[in-house]
Copies of this chain bind each other. A is one copy, B any other.
Amino acid sequence: MSTILMKNAATPHSAGGKAILDAAIRLFSEQGFDGVSMRGVALEAGVSKSNIYHHFESKEALYLAIMQASAQSLSEMVETLAEGKGDFEQRLRKFAQVHLAHLFENAMTVRLLLRELFSGESKWQKIMAEQVVGGIFERLIGIFENGQKAGLLRAGVDPGLCATLILGIDLFYFQSYEMKKYPPLNRFDRPNEQFSEEMMDIILHGMLIPAGQRSLES
């Protein structure tokens, strides 16, 4: 586990290496580790099965390389999560909006990581929890803690809970996206941006002190 399981990992030297990674991430994200065969990856990548073993030591090493690449690309996504301009509420709305959009833009990667994160027991669960999810989580918590210091949060509202709710709803919305075409779940069907807006309307109204009543407390 601690030894080097891959030979060149996320930075393949050749075109074939890149094709293998591309094919593997596509297949693994759709069908999971057990559902994918090395023959299938080779076919999808347009190379021979042996060639995969020239680049990666084993199926597990290939999977691990993809997980690492995915985790890294998602970590970089966190960097682009604009906390930027505007007041507290606008920053939060922007964060939720961008976060949800990023989930769908990196659908394959996200599905791959979520599958592993929620699969019960996984060696990489700890690492991913700390680095990938944790990064986003801490970022969002930071915003809420600033708001709390500024006296914008209602009494008894925990920044950690706030972050959990927003990230949880976004992830659930992403995960259950395919299911929304079936009744009665299709009764709630709108563009992603509108979902984010309406969701934040409710959430923020539940968390924040109304503008008219600020700094009334001690």
Contacts and interface: CB of A to CB of B under 8 A. Distances in A.
A184 interface: yes
A168 interface: yes
Interface in A167-212: 168-169, 171-173, 175-176, 178-179, 182-185, 187-188, 195, 198-199, 201-207
Copies in the complex: 2
A120 interface: yes
A172 B117 CA distance: 12
Contacts of A179: 117, 125, 129, 133
B171 A137 contact: no
A42 interface: no
Given A120-B178, A121-B178, 4 more contacts: A158-B198, A165-B199, A203-B206, A205-B206
5 contacts: A129-B185, A168-B169, A169-B169, A202-B203, A205-B205
